[in-house]
Amino acid sequence: MKKLIGMILFLLVLAGCNNTVEDSQSIEDPENKETLENTTIDDEANEPEAEQKPEEKHEEKPIEEKEAIAISKDVVARFSKMLTELGKKNGWDFEHPADYEVAKPELVTVATEEFADQELKEYVEEYYCNCDSGWFPQMDDQVIRVKTDRQVDSFTINGIVLPSFVSDGYELTMDFKKEEDGWKMDGWSHTPIRGKDLNLTKDEIQQAFPNYTVIGEENGKDGTPIVRMESDVEIIGISKKDGTMSLIDWK
């Protein structure tokens, strides 16, 4: 009987020890927990940051020369058409000069307001007088030696217009500026070329006079080289020195 009671007590003690061990394993060690948390935070802090690419800057560039020439031709052509239409609409002529304030709303669609107020005001008021001194900026395929100086929002174009029977030749310079509603004239000037030694080529002369055909070369009375050209009605001579035109014969 004593042996049985002793065996039972032994089993009870053994069972109690097992429960104590399990309970101790289920309790978290605060120090270990803090260590784990710190390790996790440190690992997150040590993770490499995602590489940030610098923002790409799209730097504006000046327009190409070909585009600048096309813009200048278009603006000048619209300016010419505008002057004709304004004159017809308002009956402006040598007896009825133009009214700048009436013309200005149209002019500022092809010219900056500053250029219109400073230069075009006087120009328009004299444009319809039919004066021999009248001048209009020619900007087309007949202008030779065209060069441009281009910035992002502006450009300057320069070229030479050879003389004809009705107008003197000149070197033309025009400024253009880009505004919110498009490219506009922002300045112009012209310098006579009479007497200047341009040393023109046959190709340049042909470009300047597309309605004529080169038929030969000869020296003038003063020894100046002349390019002979013909049309359906006449034969002319163009000085290779300064582009001066002379009539040689009728056909």
pLDDT by residue (tens digit) across 155-202? 999 999 999 998 999 999 999 999 999 999 999 999 999 889 999 999
Give the per-residue pLDDT at 207.
98
Domain that holds residue 150: 65-192
Same domain (yes/no): 212, 172: no
Report the distance separating Cα 223 and Cα 53, nearest Å. 70
pLDDT digits (tens, 9 = 90+) for 114-128: 999 999 999 999 999
Domain C-terminal end among 192, 216, 232: 192
Same domain (yes/no): 93, 174: yes
Same domain (yes/no): 95, 151: yes
Task: Say if 112 falls within a structural domain.
Answer: yes
Same domain (yes/no): 187, 225: no
Same domain (yes/no): 230, 188: no
- Mean pLDDT computed over 198-215: 97
pTM to 2 decimal places: 0.75
Collapse the DSSP code of 97 into the 3-class scheme (helix H, G, I; strand E, B; otherwise coil) and give the result. coil
What are the tokens at 10?
């032994």
CA 80 to chain centre: 22
The total number of structural domains in the chain stands at 2
Amino acid at 213: T
Same domain (yes/no): 102, 160: yes
Task: Say if 148 falls within a structural domain.
Answer: yes
**Alpha helix (H) ranges present in the chain?**
2-26, 30-46, 65-90, 100-107, 113-115, 121-127, 202-208
